[in-house]
Amino acid sequence: MWDLSGEDPVRRRALGGCIRRTYALFCCGFAFFALAGVPGAPAKAFPAAPSRSGQKTADVPEGFAIDLKASEADVLKAVEIVTQDTILHGTQVYSREDELTEAEAATGSAYYGPWTGPGHAFYKVRTKALSPLHFKNSTDIGTISVRYIVLGVAPNRTHLQIDAIFVEDGSKRVHPSDTTVETSEFAEIQSHIVRIQREERQTADLVQRRELQLAAQSNVKERDAEAAKLKDAENSVQSLELRLHELQHQAELRVKTQANLKSAPFQHAATLQSVPANSDVLIEIITPYWYGVETVDGHRGWLRHDQVEPLP
């Protein structure tokens, strides 16, 4: 960001507003063209002139939508955690702050109105936000509202919709996000989904191992039967470990050439770090064109299908 500390207060506020408007216009245009070039990206309409009434109109474009390979229950847990984290990800008011805090979980939104469609609606609201970044032409104090719609479409597939809007307190002018807020919120949600699914797998493994142990212990009464059943149990455990090793091998990929690890499954999403060629990564989420992966050093993000290949 530009350093305006040397300017007088009035000129500094004027220059700051001009810089934010110019940057927001650039980000909005870049996000649209980047999404247009990514296969499978959710379709978005061109933004029309914002409403001055402060109420939702058909002219305001929808935000971000994706189908996740996760149960509705897991996505609901992750969304609830993010709505209560008091942070609005992907925007800021002051250049020295990386995020906007003091957001609150809400049961509804004055802008979006009550949700009457299928699924579950969640909201996060930040009042008294001054010209927040990544909301087109925002130049005043107002309220940011983020809405999350969660809809299970299959036992292990859930649709997630995220919309973000900024409404000025005085003029009631409406400023849609350039999708930076939506994709940043999604990145937080997907990281929680990965953690939840991993904990569920670990719990299932522990239960399975405990069941095997109990099954083996129950055969202590008869010596001959105990030896036979214990051997069967050992063979079963070896088979499970072999199968687990095979599944782990199938779940790992190797980076073809140096690639950028993205924060969300879109070409324009923020780059988290560079992944060297021939690095091994673990698959955690699969979408039609992207893999959600974890690197050997524990970082999670997204890589395109064509950037990785199966292990030899």
- Over residues 164-205, the pLDDT tens digits come to 999 999 999 999 999 999 999 999 999 999 999 999 999 999
Average confidence (pLDDT) over 39-65: 46
> One-letter amino acid identity for 293?
V
**Beta-carbon contacts of residue 49 (< 8 Å; ≥ 6 apart):** 59
Indicate the fold that domain 251-312 takes in CATH.
Answer: SH3 type barrels. (2.30.30)
Q: Tokens 């940011």: give the residue.
A: 144
Q: How far is CA 196 from the centre of its chain?
A: 13
- What is this structure's pTM? 0.52
How far from each other are the two terminal CA atoms of the chain, in whole angstroms? 46
pLDDT score, position 304: 95
Q: How confident is the model at residue 48 (pLDDT cuts 50, 70, 90)?
A: very low
Instruction: Give the other-Cβ count within 10 Å of 173's Cβ.
Output: 20
Mean pLDDT of the chain: 80
In the chain, where the domains are located: 9-192, 251-312
Q: How confident is the model at residue 241 (pLDDT cuts 50, 70, 90)?
A: confident
Give the three-class secondary structure for 156.
coil
Instruction: For residue 282, report the phi and psi dihedrals to the nearest 5 degrees.
Output: -105, 130
Q: How far apart are CA 155 and CA 196, in angstroms?
A: 16
Q: How far apart are CA 233 and CA 231, in angstroms?
A: 5
Instruction: Give the other-Cβ count within 10 Å of 48's Cβ.
Output: 12
pLDDT score, position 250: 74
**Beta-carbon contacts of residue 246 (< 8 Å; ≥ 6 apart):** none
Q: How confident is the model at residue 220 (pLDDT cuts 50, 70, 90)?
A: low
